[in-house]
Homo-oligomer: A and B are copies of this chain.
Amino acid sequence: MVYSGDPILAEELLFKPEHSLIDQSLHSRMGATTTNGDGFGIGWYDDDEGLEPGVYKSVAPAWNDANLREVSRHLRTRLMFAHIRASTGTAVQRSNCHPFRHGRWLWMHNGVIKGFHEIKRELIMTVDPSLYPDIEGSTDSETLFFLALTFGLEDDPVRAVSQAVGEVERVAGRHGVVNPVQMTVATSDGRSVWAFRYSSEGRSRTLFFSTKVARLLELHPEVEVLHHLGEETRFVVSEPLRDLSGAWNEVPESSCGVVGPGLAELRPFRPEPVPAAG
Most buried by B among A59, A118, A121: A121
A131, closest chain B residue (CB): B121
Interfacial chain B residues near A214, Cβ < 8 Å: none
The answer, yes or no, to whether A49 is at the interface (CB within 8 Å) is no
Shortest Cβ distance from residue A102 to the other chain B in the assembled complex, whole angstroms: 15
CB pair A91–B91 under 8 Å, yes or no, is no
A55 within 8 A of B: yes
Docked-complex contact A64 and B46, CB < 8 angstroms: no
Number of interface residues, chain A, beta carbon within 8 A: 44
Nearest CB to that of A46 among chain B residues? B74
7 closest residue pairs by CB, A with B: A93-B93, A121-B132, A35-B35, A64-B92, A37-B37, A54-B70, A54-B74
How far apart sit A121 and B124, CA to CA, in the bound complex (Å)? Answer: 9
A-B contact pairs, 25 of them (CB 8 A): A26-B34, A26-B35, A34-B34, A35-B35, A37-B61, A38-B64, A51-B73, A54-B70, A54-B73, A56-B70, A56-B71, A59-B60, A61-B61, A64-B92, A74-B75, A91-B93, A91-B95, A91-B136, A93-B94, A93-B95, A120-B132, A121-B129, A121-B133, A124-B124, A136-B138
Interface string of A128-163 (1 = CB under 8 A from B): 010011011110000000000000000000000000
